[in-house]
Amino acid sequence: MKRYQLRIDGQKPDPDSRTWFETQNPYTAQAWAEVPKGNAKDVDLAVKAAHRALTAGPWAELTATQRGALLRRLGDLIARDATKLATIEVRDNGKLFAEMQSQLNYIPQWFYYYGGLADKVQGTTIPLDKKGYFAYTRNEPVGVVAAITPWNSPLMLLSWKIAPALAAGCTVVAKPSEFTSASTLELADLFEEAGFPPGVFNVVTGFGPEVGTPLVEHPLVSKISFTGSDATGRRINEAAGRHLKHTAMELGGKSPNVVFEDADLEQAAFGAISGIFAATGQTCIAGSRLLVQESIHDAFVERLLAVARAARMGDPMSPETQVGPVTTPPQYQKVLEYIDIARNEGATAVLGGSKGSRPECGDGWFVEPTIFTNVKNDMRIAQEEVFGPVLSVIRFKDEADALRIANDVRFGLAAAVWTSDIGRAIRMSEQLRAGTVWINTYRAVSFMAPFGGYKDSGLGRENGIDAIREYLQAKCVWINSGAVTGNPFVMR
Ligand code: NAI
Ligand code: MG
C-alpha cells in the first residue's frame, strides 16, 4: 500500500504522531493508501515554514512577474500530469474519471490566469485634499493562508484558493479532507519541480480537531480560506473572530433550479439531471430543489425519469458509468438517512430511494439516483443540504410563486432559471438571492467568473479578477513633500 508523507518546508517528514491512517477507494470500499496523521506540532512546523518563506528568503524577494512565471510553470506540470492526478482523485473519492479528467485538464487555467494577473495588481495614487503631501497605496500579501478543503473536488477547490493566494505573494498551509488527501500531497511534488522555494506550499494531513483547529488558531496564520459544510465553516469563523483573522467561506447550498412552462424542456431536463446526478450530487452547487411550473409538472417529471432511469452506475473509471459511488461512509449513511426523512415527511419517491444494490455496484457506497415529488418547501428534504443524488421536486404556480419558493431557504450559492422569455429571465436573475444565477444552463464555472455565496452559503468570492484581493491588504504610504509640522497636538 502506498504510504504518503507530510510536506513541510520542502521536506517530506513523518508526522509527529508517527501514525498513519488508511484512505479508502469508495468503489471497492478497500483501503489503498496510508496518510500521515498530523497534529498541532506538525501544524506549528508548517505554519512557521510558511511564515519564514513569506517574510525572508527567495519567495519574499521575487517580483510579481517572477511569481507569475512560477505559477504558469506549475500549470504546465499539472497539465502534463493531468491523467495521473485524475486517476488518483478517482481512486480516492470515487468521482467519475470523465469528470476528474476534465477538471484536471481545466485546473491549469487557474494557474495561468492568476499567474498572468500577479503583476497587474496596481496601487493607486491618492488625490489628497491636503497640500504638501503625496500618498499612494501598495497591495501587500495578507500573510500565511490556511487552505482547508473538502473531499468532493479536492484539487479544483484547492486551486481556486492557492492560485490567487500565491499570485498575491502569500504562502500556504493546505489541509485537505481526511477522506481525500492523496492528490494534494501529489500536487506538492509539482511545486518543487516547478521551482517554488521551500515553505511556500505546505501540506498537513489529518482530521479536523487535530489539524484543522490548531491551523485556524495559529497566531502566524492570517487568513483562512475554507470550503466545506456550513457547520464547520461557522465553527472556523468563530475561532477566526476570536483571533481577528480574515476568512473566506464557501459553504454549500440548496440551490433552486426553476423550470417555467415556456422553457426548452429537453434542455431543462438535462440541466436538472446534471444539477443533481452528475458527481453523484456531491457538489456545493447541486440543483437539489427542482421547481417546476404546475402546468408542465407531470410531463416534466416523466422526462426526467426517462433519462434518470437509464443512468448507468458502476466503476467510476469506466467511460460508460454515469453515476459513481458516494465518497465517504458517513456521507453514504447521511444520504440514506435523508431518504428516510423525506419519506417520513410525506414526499413520494418516484425513482430510487435506496442504496445501490445493482451487481455493478459491488461493495461500493452507491445510492440509487432518487427523485422525490410532492415535496413542500418547508420539509427538511427541501431545506437541508443532502450532498447526494437526491432530488426534491416542488410545484409552483407563477413567477411570483417561483421566486418566493426559490428564495425561501437559508442558503444562496446558486440558482437557475429555464425560460424562453428574456424579460422573465432578467427579472428572475435580479430577484434571486444567490451568488451565481444561470439562465438556461446549469453547473457552469470558470476561473474568470466570480463564485461565492449569499446568505448562509458563505463569505467572499473565489475566481475572477477580484479574488486576488481576498489575499491582499492595502497599505497607504504618506510622503511629506513640503508640509511643515506645526502644532504637534492636533491632527494633520
Ligand atoms: P467538513 O466541513 O467537516 O470538512 C471540510 C474540511 O474541514 C475537511 O478538511 C475537514 O477535515 C476540515 N475540518 C473539520 N473540522 C474542522 C475544524 N474544527 N477546524 C478546521 N477544519 C476542520 O465536511 P465533511 O464532514 O467532510 O462533510 C459534511 C457535510 O458537509 C457533507 O455532508 C456536505 O453536506 C457538506 N459539504 C459541503 C461541501 C461544499 O463544497 N460546500 C464539500 C464537502 C462537504
Ligand atoms: Mg478516500
Closest CA to 3 of 42, 44, 37: 37
3-state secondary structure of 466: helix
CA 335/CA 358 separation, integer angstroms: 18
Tens of pLDDT, residues 176-190: 999 999 999 999 999
Q: What separation in Å is there between the alpha carbon of 375 and the centre of ligand 1?
A: 27
Ligand nearest to the backbone CA of 27 = 2
Q: Which backbone phi and psi does 17 adopt, to 5 degrees?
A: -70, -15
**Which one-letter DSSP state was computed for residue 390?**
E
**Residue 299 Cα to chain centre, angstroms:** 35
Q: How many residues does the chain have?
A: 492
- The rounded distance, in Å, linking the Cα atoms of 49 and 54 is 9
pTM for this predicted structure = 0.97
CA distance 414 to 408: 13
- With the C-alpha atoms ordered 287, 290, 296, 301, is the resulting torsion angle positive or negative? positive
Atom of ligand 1 nearest to the CA of 207: 11
Percent of residues in the chain assigned helix, strand, coil, to nearest 5: 40, 20, 35
Contacts of 166 (CB under 8 A, 6+ apart): 67, 70, 71, 114, 172, 200, 201
The pick from 21, 223, 242, 387 for probing ligand 1's pocket by mutation, whose C-beta has the most ligand atoms within 8 angstroms, reads 387
Q: How far is 95 from 323, CA to CA, in rounded Å? A: 8
Radius of gyration of the chain measured on its C-alpha atoms:
24
Q: pLDDT digit string (tens) for 8-36? A: 999 999 999 999 999 999 999 999 999 99
**Over residues 367-375, mean pLDDT:** 98
The stretch 258-273 carries a mean pLDDT of 98
- Ligand at shortest distance from the CA of 286: 1
Output the CA 377–ligand 2 centroid distance in Å.
34
Residue 231 CA, closest ligand 1 atom number: 2
Report residue 394 as a C-alpha cell. 416542488
Ligand 1, residues at Cβ distance < 6 Å = 148-152, 175, 177-178, 207-209, 212-213, 216, 227-229, 232, 235-236, 250-252, 284, 331, 334, 385, 387
From 250, 368, 385, 470, the catalytic residue? 250
The pLDDT, as a whole number, for residue 302 is: 98
Map out the domains of the chain with their CATH numbers.
2-251+457-476 (3.40.605.10), 256-439 (3.40.309.10)
User: Does the annotation mark 345 as catalytic?
Assistant: no
**Of the residues 89, 170, 210, 284, which is catalytic?**
284
Q: Which residue has the cell 480516492?
A: 92
pLDDT of 142 strictly over 90: yes
Please give the distance, rounded to the nearest whole angstrom, from the Cα atom of residue 96 to the centre of ligand 1: 21
The strand order across the sheet containing 436-439 reads 348-351, 370-373, 390-396, 289-293, 256-259, 414-418, 436-439
pLDDT number for residue 486: 86
Nearest ligand (C-alpha, residue 154): 1
Q: Cα–Cα distances in Å, from 242 out to 218, 236, 245, 368, 412?
A: 12, 10, 8, 43, 26
Angle between helices 182-194 and 154-167 (to 10 degrees): 40
Q: CA–CA distance from 236 to each of 40, 204, 305, 460 (Å)?
A: 16, 17, 40, 15
Q: Closest ligand to 179 CA?
A: 2
Q: Which atom of ligand 1 is nearest to the CA of 213?
A: 19
Q: Which of 469, 382, 419, 441 is nearest to 165 (CA)?
A: 469
Ligand nearest to the CA of 24: 2
Tell me the backbone φ, ψ of residue 433, rounded to 5 degrees.
-95, 80
pLDDT in tens, 421-462: 999 999 999 999 999 999 999 999 999 999 999 999 999 999
310-337 pLDDT per residue, tens? 999 999 999 999 999 999 999 999 999 9
User: Which residues touch 205 (CB under 8 Å, ≥6 apart)?
Assistant: 4, 6, 15, 35, 36, 37, 38, 175, 176, 178, 181, 184, 185, 211
Q: Tell me, in angstroms, the distance from the centre of ligand 2 to residue 332's CA.
A: 13
Instruction: Give the ligand 1 atom nearest the CA of 387.
Output: 34
Rounded to whole angstroms, the Cα distance separating 24 from 37 reads 15
Ligand 1 atom nearest residue 232's Cα: 2
**327 and 23 Cβ atoms separated by less than 8 Å:** no
Residue 5 CA to chain centroid, in angstroms? 24
Whole-number percent of the chain with pLDDT over 90: 98
Quickly tell me which residue has 450559492 as its cell: 413
Q: How many A from CA of 228 to the centre of ligand 1?
A: 4
Q: Which residue's CA lies nearest to atom 11 of ligand 1? A: 208
Number of CB atoms found within 10 A of residue 407's CB? 16
Atom of ligand 1 nearest to the CA of 239: 19
Establish whether 284 is a catalytic residue: yes
Grid cell 497534529 — which residue? 39
Q: Whose Cα sits closest to atom 27 in ligand 1?
A: 229
Kindly give the distance from the C-alpha atom of residue 272 to the centroid of ligand 1, in angstroms, as a whole number.
25
pLDDT confidence band for 145 (50 / 70 / 90): very high
Give the neighbor-by-neighbor strand order of the sheet with 2-3.
Answer: 2-3, 30-36, 20-25
pLDDT at residue 492 is higher than 90: no
What single DSSP character describes residue 407? H
Residue 319: left (phi > 0), alpha (psi -120 to 50), or beta? alpha
**Residue 117 identity:** L
Instruction: Name the residue with the closest Cα to ligand 1, atom 25.
Output: 229
Distance, CA of 173 to CA of 150 (rounded, Å) = 15
Phi, psi of 333 (to 5 degrees): -65, -40
Q: How far is the CA of 16 from the centre of ligand 2 (A)?
A: 22
Amino acid occupying residue 331: Q
Predicted local confidence at residue 57, as pLDDT: 87
Q: What mean pLDDT comes out for the span 161-188?
A: 98
The partner residues of 144 in beta bridges, in order of sequence, read 171, 221
Query: Which three three-digit cell numbers place residue 278?
Result: 452528475
What pLDDT is recorded for position 473?
98
- What is the atom index within ligand 1 of the atom nearest the CA of 209? 18
Is the CB of residue 36 less than 8 Å from the CB of residue 14?
Answer: yes
Rounded to the nearest 10 degrees, the angle between the axes of helix 154-167 and helix 64-80 is 160
Q: Name the residue at shortest CA distance from atom 21 of ligand 1.
A: 212
Distance CA 47, CA 202 (A): 8
**Residue of 232, 251, 285 with the most ligand 1 atoms within 8 Å of its CB, for mutation:** 232
Separation of 471 CA from ligand 1 center, angstroms?
22
Percent of the chain with pLDDT over 70: 100
Q: What pLDDT was estimated at residue 485?
A: 85
- pLDDT above 90: residue 270: yes
Collapsing DSSP states into helix, strand and coil, what is residue 105?
helix
Count CB neighbours of 327 within 10 A: 27
To test ligand 1's pocket by mutation, which of 148, 184, 226 has the most ligand atoms within 8 angstroms of CB? 148
- pLDDT for position 81: 98
